Each structure stands twice: as structure tokens, then as C-alpha cells.
A and B are shown apart, each in its own frame.
Chain A
């Protein structure tokens, strides 16, 4: 019987040779196709949770309404806020765009931590792929979904409900696109770095809380950086958070422009490079350190 088996094998072997490296699809187009595939599948996965996006739209509008009302109350007594240059109209635009940009950058920052903790990350690591870029592609797929289901509807409602002027200069929109993308990357990498901490310690909650706290306050998502006291500025300036929300929002409402804008974009770009390096470092040493739980 064993004889027969070996013979059977020999007869069939050629048909089932393993795929050689030459045979594999190479080249930029195929790599791109892979990542588009990832993004598409992740978009598709979002469809499984239909209810959530209605909540998302509702929440977004609610927050915009709350913040604009708050600013209105604050600005009632004095029309201009000190040296910041913010008028009521400007701060209203800021509040609206900050919230919309924030929603446009919504990212899943829990799945990697959960995977590392449960050990399910091993199922990604047995595949010949780069976890970071795979995750980024998935994230972009989700973002596309958020754009279609949340950002666009919320923006439409805001256009009708508020008097906001949309810049028409293509140069400004180009600059905004670049800044948005870099800000998006910054947030993605920040989440990634914090997720990597799970490789070393199971205690990730306090780190997450810290990240969330710092982000909420210093990203400029709620209050523009200009409103913080002078003595806090050195601290804020050594953190990357303002380049995630404050910078894109300020550019789109025309609060920051010219040389100042170029300067800040340069710094933002440096942050992206630096954090990219940090992500790579943390992934290589973290995955080596990986102690896969269970099974």
C-alpha cells in the first residue's frame, strides 16, 4: 500500500510543483492590486455593520451643533478673541471643519491591540505580507467608507445649516489634500506605535487613555491651539498632535497661510518620516519579542 502511494505521488508530482519565485506575480501593478484588494475588502466588511454609520452621522452633527453653540455663547460678549484673530464666523468655521476632518480621519485603533493580545496576529504573520502596509490599506478602505457614509452627508448638512465659505483656490485645495494625507498618516502611525506597546505589556489601557487625552486636547480638535496659554506652547510644539487636526483645519479656513503654512507642513513631513522609522523599529523588535498567546 505504501508502495502504491509513493508511485502515485511520483506520477503526479509534476502537476503540483510549488510556485517558484519567477512564477509569482511581480511588479508595481500587482503590488498595487494587492493593496487595492485589501482596501476594497475592508470597505466591504464595513457593510456588515449598517447601523453604525447612522449613529456616526447623528453623533457628528450633534457635536458640531454643540460646539458651534458654545462658541457663539463665548463670543457674544466680545467679538474678537484677544490676539488670536478668531472672530465668531471664523471660529464657527473652525469648529465645523475640525469635526468633519476628525470624522474623515476616523481609524480603527483597537483591532491590532486585540490581535496581539489574543494571539490572532499570528494568523497575519504566517502570510507573506507586511503587516504595516496591509493595515494601512485596510484603514484606507474604512476611511473611504467613512467618507461616503459620514463625511459627505455631514458636510452637506453643514453647508445648508451654516454660512460657511468654501475656498475656491485650487492651490489651497492641493495644499489641504497634502496636509490631510500627512495628518492621516501621522494619526495612523501614532495608533500603530501605541498598539505595538501590546507586544511588551498586556497593560495597554492606561497608554490608550494617555494617547486619547493628549490627542483630544492638543490636536486642536476642540479648541484651536492659539487659545492655549503661552507657557504651554513649548510643550505643545514638541508633540505631533497639532499636525493631525489643527493644521489641516487652519489651512482650509484660511487661518494659516503663506510661509507659516509651508513651515508647518515641513515640520509635519518630518514627523511623518520620524514616526515611520519608529513604526518600523517597533514592529521589528516587537514581533521578535512576540509571545503568541494560546494554542
Chain B
């Protein structure tokens, strides 16, 4: 646990649950007629007892597959959805009981929606937000200047929002969510559907505000590159429960005990009899991809044997990716639910 978190907790979630009743509709014309009279209801446990604390200034990646319960959690944290059970506290406020007070403290971005007024230029939406958040003029202007610069908005501000591209709109939405100096920023899939350049702009901005402002950020995504680029801490959620909670770095160390060696030989491709601990995963022309276990032989031995016994032209070592780790965790059926607190 890092020092910041120990200092002050800003979000407390305890055994949080949310269920949805889903009607199982019968199909066809007769079916839809029958639906009027009897409906079978099924209960979906979207969030099924999660517990975590988040400290001031943390940048947390909230990760999981589609339908894992990420958005449902965010909705409960923002106060627009009431939990079925359990408790949630954001900056000392219970969001669903005190939605408006909570709203002053948080900024929210939902990737598939916009908080801007569709027919108005973003500039006018910002002006409305200034009034809604009752910001002092001087504070608003400073924020406005800074955000427009950081997100390069100057050319976008006068265009009606409906005419912006998804990436441009997302940049405006990010600015909108930060105008009122929120303590906490919730981002639900902000990079979804964006091209690489737009994704990059979003990541750069998030890095920037996490550096310059003491804002706590919770980022929901299923894009692992977002996490690798941004989050020191990661919470993995699987079918409504927490599968992992800890530092991103530690996740890699704990769950990946292998690395990949990519070796290019001088115009030949030898059998590596002297290195039985290396597993060949791919072999192509004069290149080989080899997996080796960190618990076994030392790196030093492997490399020196390679260079001593074979004609190596080039060699690179690949670090494991977070996505591989998560796949591994899911494959184990979330067996390793431990290591919540390190």
C-alpha cells in the first residue's frame, strides 16, 4: 500500500452489492402477448460484494471484461444508482443519499455519452456548467484557460457539439468534467471507440492532471494499454467480485513467472540442446521465440550459454503484458483472489 493511501481515504466501498431484475421475455408475437400477463424474472448480480478503499491522489484502473460490473460500480459511486446492499462513501458523503452534494465533489465522464448540450457549442456548455457548479468567475477562467490549452480545444469550442468527432467530443467532455476542480474523477471507458491519436491525447491529459492536480482518478476500461500507461494500482473485477487489487507492477511480478526471449541467429536456426529449460513457442527463418521460467535458471546463465554456444545476431527480452496477466487470472477462474492488501 502506498503512502498516499495510508494518509487519507477518499473512497470507501464495503461489501457493495447491486442486483437487477431482468424479465425473461418470450419471443414471437404470441410470446410478446404472453409477456403482458406473466413474466419470469431472473436476478442478475451485477456487483456482488466488493470492498476497497482508495486514497487521495491515487490513479486506479478498474478493469474487467464486458458485463463484469464496472459501470454499475461507477454509477453507485456517482450517486445515480442505489445499491441493493452494502455501503459506499465518497469524500465523506453517501452518494445515493446526497446526490447533489456528491456531485460537487466529482467529475464524471461516460465514454458513450456526453454531458454537453448537443445543439450548443462546447463554450456555451462550459458557461452553463460554471453556473451549475456556482464557480467564482476568476476560478472558472483560470481552469478554462488551462484545460483548453492542455486539451487543445481552441478550435473546437465554437462548433455545436453534435458536429464534433468522437475524439474531439471526448476532449471537450474531459474538460467539462474538470472545470469545477473535482476531488475525484470517474472515467467510464473514456477511450472506447477512439482512434490511436485520440486515445493518446486522452492518456496524455489524464497523466497531466494527475501530475498537476491532486485529483483521485478511477478509470474503467478494458483497454490494457490505458492501464499500463496510467495506473499504479489496478482492481480487477470478474462477475461482480474483485479478482485482484494491488499495484500494477506487483500484479505482473506475482502472476507472471515467465519472460519471452526473442533471438535472431546468424543465417541459421539451431536446435538448442544446451538449453533444455527454454520452451520454443515459435520458430521462423533464423528467429526463435523462447519462453523461460524466472524461478529456474538464472538469466545470466541462459544468456551466456546462448552467446557461447550459438551465433546470436540479435536478442531481446519481452516483458509480460497486463492483458496476459488478466487472461491468466480469468483462466484460473479467479482462483487467486488473494493479495488484496500488500
Q: Which residues of A are in contact with B by a Cβ distance under 8 Å?
A: 2, 5-6, 8-9, 12-13, 16-19, 21, 23-26, 30, 33-34, 37-38, 41, 44-45, 48, 119-120, 122-123, 125-130, 287-288, 290-292, 294-295
Contacts and interface: CB of A to CB of B under 8 A. Distances in A.
A86 B71 CA distance: 62
B80 A48 contact: no
A51 to B, nearest CB: 14
B139 A126 contact: no
Nearest to A23: B136
A119 B105 CA distance: 22
A33 B131 contact: yes
B275 interface: no
A122 B180 CA distance: 18
Nearest to B109: A126
Interface of B: 3-4, 20, 57, 71, 75, 78-82, 96, 99-101, 103-106, 108, 110-115, 117, 119-120, 124, 127-129, 131-136, 139, 160, 180-183, 188-189, 210-215, 232
A184 to B, nearest CB: 23
B135 A126 contact: no
Nearest to B192: A295
11 contacts: A5-B211, A8-B211, A37-B131, A44-B124, A45-B119, A123-B115, A126-B79, A126-B103, A127-B103, A128-B104, A287-B80
Given A19-B135, A45-B119, A291-B20, A126 B78 contact: yes
B85 to A, nearest CB: 15
A44 B120 contact: yes
Nearest to B107: A126
Given A44-B120, A45-B120, A295-B189, A19 B180 contact: yes
A18 B182 contact: yes
B181 A16 contact: yes
A17 B181 contact: yes
Given A45-B120, A122-B110, A125-B99, A19 B211 contact: no
A219 B79 CA distance: 39
B211 A125 contact: no
Nearest to A5: B211
B110 A295 contact: yes
A18 B181 contact: yes
Given A9-B211, A41-B120, A48-B160, A34 B132 contact: yes
B136 to A, nearest CB: 6
Most A CB contacts (10 A, CB to CB) among B78, B104, B139 go to: B104
B119 A48 contact: yes
Rank and list the top 7 A-B pairs by shortest CB-CB distance, nearest first.
A128-B103, A16-B213, A24-B134, A25-B134, A34-B131, A295-B112, A45-B119
Given A9-B211, A129-B100, A122 B80 contact: yes
Contact of B214 (A16, A19, A126): A16
A182 to B, nearest CB: 28
Contacts of A9: 57, 211-212, 214
A161 B57 CA distance: 70
B104 A294 contact: no
A290 B20 CA distance: 11
B139 A125 contact: no
A17 B181 CA distance: 7
Nearest to A27: B134
A122 B113 contact: yes
Nearest to B211: A8
B132 A24 contact: no
B69 to A, nearest CB: 13
B274 to A, nearest CB: 39
Contacts of A18: 105, 181-183
Given A8-B211, A13-B214, A16-B181, A24 B131 contact: no
Most B CB contacts (10 A, CB to CB) among A16, A26, A292 go to: A16
A126 B115 contact: yes
Most B CB contacts (10 A, CB to CB) among A19, A44, A123, A287 go to: A19
B229 to A, nearest CB: 13
Contacts of A288: 82, 96
Contacts of B128: 37-38, 41
A290 B131 contact: no
A56 to B, nearest CB: 18
Contacts of B180: 19
B80 A295 contact: no
Contacts of B135: 19, 24-25
Nearest to A11: B212
A288 to B, nearest CB: 5
A126 B120 contact: no
Nearest to A36: B131
A122 B131 contact: no
B29 to A, nearest CB: 17
Contact of A295 (B71, B133, B214): B71
A122 B134 contact: no
Contacts of A287: 80
A8 B188 contact: no
Contact of A120 (B111, B113, B181): B113
A17 B239 CA distance: 37
